[in-house]
Amino acid sequence: MEQKENFKEYNNGEITVVWKPSKCIHAGICVKTLPQVYNPKAKPWITPEKASTEALKSQILKCPSGALSFYPDGKR
């Protein structure tokens, strides 16, 4: 039986941030780079509206596991 990949999406009005927890290695780069966006103790833990789209893209591209990705609104 094929297992469906679990993911969550968070939108800032320009892009949608996709988080795949099964890929996450908890390196913490996201939290260290944009602590105002990524707060593991909060619900939701990702609040992309708290940073610019360019800052989000830059940080997401540095995710070592590929657990974080993004796509422009309406482009999925």
pLDDT given for residue 5 in this prediction: 72
Architecture of the domain spanning 13-72: 2-Layer Sandwich (3.30)
Residues contacting 4, CB < 8 A, separation 6+: none
Residue 1 in this model has a pLDDT that exceeds 80: no
Is the pTM here over 0.75, yes or no?
yes
Query: How is the chain split into domains, by residue range?
Result: 13-72
Question: What confidence tens digit (pLDDT) does each residue in 28-50 have?
Answer: 999 999 999 999 999 999 999 99
Please give the Cα distance from 1 to 19 (Å, whole number). 23
| Predicted confidence band of residue 73 (pLDDT cuts 50, 70, 90) | confident
